[in-house]
C-alpha cells in the first residue's frame, strides 16, 4: 500500500512538473525601429520609435518564458536593444550593448534577440543601447510569476506601468553630438514625461496627460521605471501612500513611504490603495540633483490618479483640478538615504560570505586638458577643458570594429586589455578636496577577468573630482546584493562590520550615494562580457564604464552558447 502511495505521489509530482514546464511559453515579437512624428511641447519631432509607439510596446511575460524579438532597423541610425536587468544566462549574445556583446544593427538590417527569463519576477524594461537613442526607444518588460504561482502579496485589482522619461525639444542625437564636439556638458532636457506625456505643467501638454485609474477600495500595483537619460528622479502622489514591494525584478520586504527615488535604470513596484475621497490626485516626478554647479532640468512631470467614481465634469463645468503633492527639495539627499536604507529582501538570502575577488572601483568625473590638435571650440568644458569620466582612473573606450564578446570568442587580439586595476592606482582622499593633478584619467579598453563561480565584492566609491554626484551604477548579466552604503571614503576596518549579509536588497542598478560608497556582492555564474556603467547616459559617453569578462565554467551548462547566425558583424 505504502509503495503504491509513494508511486502515486511521485507520479503526480512528475505530472505537475511536466505541466509547469510546458506552461513556459515562447513569445515572438517584431520591433521595427523607425522615425515617427511625435508631437510634444507644441512641436513635432521625427523621433525614433519602436513600431511607431512612444513609449514602445510593453512586453508581458511569465517567469520561465522565452522571448524572441526580431529587431528590424528602418531608422537612419545604428541601433541595438538591451533588455535591462534580464540575466541572460548563457545568452550574452542577446544582451545588446553596442560594441560590447554585438556590433550595431545597421540601417536596413535586423537581428533576432532570443533569451529565457529565469527566476526573475517584477518590473524590468528594454531600451536602445547605442548613442542617446534610448531617449525615445524604450518600453516596459513585465515579468509575472509562473502560471499558477502568485505574488507574495494580495493580488492587486489592477496594474499600471509608469515609465518616467526625459524629453528634448530637439533631436537627442544632435544634442549628444554637439556635446561630443564641444567637450562641454550636453543641453539639459526640456521635460520629464510619464508614459511619454509631460503633463499639465508644460505648454501644449494637458490634452495628453497620463491618467492612472483606481477605484475606492481597490489596490493598483504601479510599476515605476526611471527611463530618464540623465536624471535621478523623486516620485510621489498627492495624499496617497506607497507600499513598496519590489525593485529591479526582485521582491522586497514591504514598507510604506510617500516618496520614491529612482536613479535611471532602476525600477520600483508599489501598491497604491484607493483609500481617499474619490477625486483626482497628481502623480508627480522631478529631479533629485546631487551634482554641484551643474545645470539640470528643474521642471515637474505629472500624471493624474483618477478615481473611477470621481464626479464627472458635467456640461460647462471643468474637471476637478487635481491635488498637487509636495516633492522633496532637489538636493534632498536625506530623503534618498532614508528611502534606500528601507530596502530589504523579504527573507534571509544567500549572500556570498567568503570573497574570492575583492575589487574597489572609484567612480567619478574628470576634465581632460585640451589636446594640442584641438581648437578652443572643441574644449568648451570648464576652463578650456573637455569633460571626461572614469572608473579607477580609466576612461572607458568602446571598440569600434568588433564587439568585446566577439573578440573574446574568436580570440582577436588588440581589442581590449585585461589589466583593469582591481584598486585605484593611487589612493587619495576620494571625497575630499582632490588635487587638480588627479582630475585627468587615462583612456583605454581595460577589462577585468573573473573565474566562473568566483564570489565577487565590489566597493563603488564616488569621487568629488569636478563634483560629487549620485551615480546609478548598472551591471549587465547579473543581479547583486547591495550589502552596505555610506558617505565619505569607504573604510574596510570600520565599515565591514556594518554589512547586511542577512536580507540585503537584490538589484541590477545601485544609486551610489553622492560623496559616498556602496558595496555589492554576487557570484560570477554567468559567462560572458558584461558592461558595468553609470546609467546617466552623459557619463557613459564620457567613459564611466568598464567590462567584466566572466570565463566559462565546466561543461555546456556553465558555458556561453554559440553566437546566433544573424549576429551583426561590423
Over the window 514 to 543, marking each residue x when it contacts ligand C2O by CB under 6 A and - when it does not, the resulting string is -----------------x-x-x--------
The CB-of-331 to ligand C2O minimum distance in angstroms stands at 25
The CB-of-134 to ligand C2O minimum distance in angstroms stands at 8
Nearest to 399 by CA among 390, 391, 408: 408
* 177, containing H or E segment: helix 172-182
How far, in Å, CA of 548 to CA of 359, rounded?
11
Lateral strand order in the sheet of 43-50: 43-50, 26-40, 66-73, 110-116
How far, in Å, CA of 227 to CA of 68, rounded?
23
Of 416 and 430, which has the nearer Cβ to ligand C2O? 416
The CB-of-97 to ligand C2O minimum distance in angstroms stands at 5
Q: Which residues sit opposite 166 in a β-bridge? A: 192
How far, in Å, CA of 424 to CA of 312, rounded?
61
Of 386 and 539, which has the nearer Cβ to ligand C2O? 539
Site for ligand C2O in 236-275 (CB under 6 A): 265
Of 256 and 400, which has the nearer Cβ to ligand C2O? 400
Phi, psi (rounded to 5 degrees) for 29: -140, 160
Phi-psi region of 392 (alpha: psi -120 to 50; beta: other; left: phi over 0): left
* 406, containing H or E segment: helix 404-410
Site for ligand C2O in 109-148 (CB under 6 A): 127, 129
The CB-of-268 to ligand C2O minimum distance in angstroms stands at 15
Long-range Cβ contact pairs of 51-58 (< 8 A, separation 24 or more): 53/139, 54/136, 54/196, 55/138, 55/139, 55/140, 55/163, 55/165, 55/195, 55/196, 55/227, 56/31, 56/126, 56/137, 56/138, 56/139, 57/29, 57/31, 57/139, 58/139, 58/140, 58/141, 58/142, 58/161
- Residue 40 engages ligand C2O in binding (rule: CB under 6 A): no
Identify the residue whose cell numbers are 559567462.
Answer: 527
The CB-of-165 to ligand C2O minimum distance in angstroms stands at 13
How far, in Å, CA of 295 to CA of 306, rounded?
34
The CB-of-138 to ligand C2O minimum distance in angstroms stands at 9
Say what the alpha-carbon torsion angle 332, 333, 334, 339 is, to the nearest 10 degrees.
110
Number of residues this chain uses to bind ligand C2O (CB under 6 A)? 11
21: CB partners within 8 A, 6+ apart = none
Of 474 and 539, which has the nearer Cβ to ligand C2O? 474
The CB-of-519 to ligand C2O minimum distance in angstroms stands at 21
* 341, containing H or E segment: helix 333-341
Of 240 and 533, which has the nearer Cβ to ligand C2O? 533
Of 97 and 468, which has the nearer Cβ to ligand C2O? 97
- Residue 409 engages ligand C2O in binding (rule: CB under 6 A): no
Over the window 42 to 81, marking each residue x when it contacts ligand C2O by CB under 6 A and - when it does not, the resulting string is ----------------------------------------
The CB-of-520 to ligand C2O minimum distance in angstroms stands at 16
The CB-of-232 to ligand C2O minimum distance in angstroms stands at 14
Q: Which residues sit opposite 126 in a β-bridge? A: 83, 139
Contact in structure between 404 and 416 (CB atoms under 8 Å): yes
Of 470 and 489, which has the nearer Cβ to ligand C2O? 470
The CB-of-378 to ligand C2O minimum distance in angstroms stands at 27
Over the window 451 to 490, marking each residue x when it contacts ligand C2O by CB under 6 A and - when it does not, the resulting string is -----------------------x-x--------------
Of 283 and 536, which has the nearer Cβ to ligand C2O? 536
Looking only at the bridges linking them, the beta strands covering 158-167 and 506-507 are: unpaired
Of 40 and 84, which has the nearer Cβ to ligand C2O? 84
Exposure on the CB side of residue 398, measured as CA atoms within 13 A: 26
Residue nearest to ligand C2O (CB): 84
The CB-of-557 to ligand C2O minimum distance in angstroms stands at 26
Phi, psi (rounded to 5 degrees) for 281: -130, 135
Of 304 and 531, which has the nearer Cβ to ligand C2O? 531
- Residue 82 engages ligand C2O in binding (rule: CB under 6 A): yes
Of 123 and 300, which has the nearer Cβ to ligand C2O? 123
Residue ranges that bind ligand C2O, judged by CB under 6 A: 82, 84, 97, 127, 129, 265, 474, 476, 531, 533, 535
Amino acid at each position: 500500500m505504502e509503495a503504491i502511495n509513494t508511486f502515486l505521489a511521485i507520479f503526480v509530482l512528475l505530472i505537475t512538473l511536466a505541466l509547469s514546464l510546458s506552461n513556459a511559453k515562447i513569445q515572438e515579437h517584431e520591433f521595427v525601429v523607425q522615425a515617427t512624428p511625435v508631437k510634444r511641447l507644441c512641436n513635432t519631432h521625427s523621433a525614433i520609435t519602436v513600431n511607431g509607439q512612444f513609449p514602445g510596446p510593453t512586453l508581458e511575460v511569465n517567469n520561465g518564458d522565452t522571448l524572441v524579438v526580431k529587431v528590424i532597423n528602418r531608422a537612419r541610425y545604428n541601433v541595438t536593444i538591451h533588455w535591462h536587468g534580464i540575466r541572460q544566462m548563457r545568452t550574452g549574445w542577446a544582451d545588446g550593448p553596442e560594441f560590447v556583446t554585438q556590433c550595431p544593427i545597421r540601417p536596413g538590417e535586423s537581428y533576432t534577440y532570443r533569451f529565457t527569463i529565469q527566476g526573475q519576477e517584477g518590473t524590468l524594461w528594454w531600451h536602445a543601447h547605442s548613442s542617446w537613442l534610448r531617449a525615445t526607444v524604450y518600453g516596459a518588460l513585465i515579468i509575472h510569476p509562473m502560471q499558477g504561482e502568485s505574488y507574495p502579496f494580495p493580488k492587486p485589482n489592477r496594474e499600471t506601468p509608469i515609465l518616467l522619461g526625459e524629453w528634448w525639444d530637439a533631436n537627442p542625437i544632435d544634442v549628444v553630438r554637439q556635446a561630443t564636439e564641444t567637450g562641454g556638458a550636453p543641453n539639459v532636457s526640456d521635460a520629464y514625461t510619464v508614459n511619454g506625456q509631460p503633463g499639465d505643467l508644460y505648454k501644449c501638454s494637458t490634452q495628453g496627460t497620463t491618467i492612472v485609474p483606481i477605484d475606492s477600495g481597490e489596490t493598483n500595483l504601479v510599476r515605476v521605471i526611471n527611463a530618464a537619460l540623465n536624471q535621478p528622479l523623486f516620485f510621489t502622489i498627492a495624499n496617497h501612500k506607497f507600499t513598496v514591494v519590489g525593485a529591479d525584478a526582485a521582491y522586497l520586504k514591504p514598507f510604506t513611504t510617500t516618496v520614491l527615488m529612482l536613479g535611471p535604470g532602476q525600477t520600483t513596484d508599489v501598491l497604491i490603495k484607493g483609500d481617499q475621497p474619490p477625486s483626482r490626485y497628481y502623480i508627480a516626478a522631478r529631479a533629485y540633483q546631487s551634482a554641484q554647479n551643474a545645470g539640470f532640468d528643474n521642471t515637474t512631470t505629472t500624471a493624474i490618479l483618477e478615481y473611477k467614481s470621481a464626479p464627472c465634469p458635467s456640461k460647462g463645468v471643468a474637471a476637478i483640478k487635481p491635488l498637487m503633492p509636495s516633492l522633496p527639495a532637489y538636493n534632498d539627499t536625506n530623503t534618498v538615504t532614508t528611502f534606500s536604507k528601507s530596502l530589504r529582501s523579504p527573507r534571509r538570502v544567500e549572500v556570498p560570505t567568503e570573497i574570492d575577488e575583492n575589487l574597489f572601483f572609484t567612480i567619478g568625473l574628470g576634465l581632460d586638458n585640451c589636446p594640442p590638435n584641438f581648437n578652443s571650440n572643441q574644449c568648451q568644458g570648464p576652463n578650456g577643458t573637455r569633460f571626461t569620466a572614469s572608473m579607477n582612473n580609466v576612461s572607458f573606450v568602446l571598440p569600434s570594429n568588433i564587439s568585446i564578446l566577439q573578440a573574446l570568442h574568436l580570440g582577436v587580439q588588440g581589442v581590449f586589455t585585461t589589466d583593469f586595476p582591481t584598486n585605484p592606482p593611487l589612493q587619495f582622499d576620494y571625497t575630499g578636496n582632490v588635487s587638480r593633478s588627479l582630475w585627468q584619467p587615462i583612456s583605454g579598453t581595460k577589462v577585468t577577468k573573473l573565474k566562473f563561480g568566483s564570489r565577487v565584492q565590489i566597493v563603488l566609491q564616488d569621487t568629488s573630482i569636478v563634483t560629487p554626484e549620485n551615480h546609478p551604477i548598472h551591471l549587465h548579466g547579473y543581479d547583486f546584493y547591495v550589502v552596505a552604503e555610506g558617505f565619505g571614503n569607504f573604510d574596510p576596518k570600520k565599515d565591514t562590520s556594518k554589512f547586511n549579509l542577512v536580507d540585503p536588497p537584490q538589484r541590477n542598478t545601485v544609486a551610489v550615494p553622492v560623496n559616498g560608497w556602496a558595496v555589492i556582492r554576487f557570484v560570477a555564474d554567468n559567462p560572458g562580457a558584461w558592461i558595468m556603467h553609470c546609467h546617466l547616459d552623459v557619463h557613459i559617453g564620457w567613459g564611466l564604464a568598464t567590462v567584466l569578462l566572466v570565463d566559462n565554467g565546466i561543461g555546456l551548462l556553465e558555458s556561453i552558447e554559440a553566437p546566433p547566425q544573424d549576429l551583426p558583424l561590423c
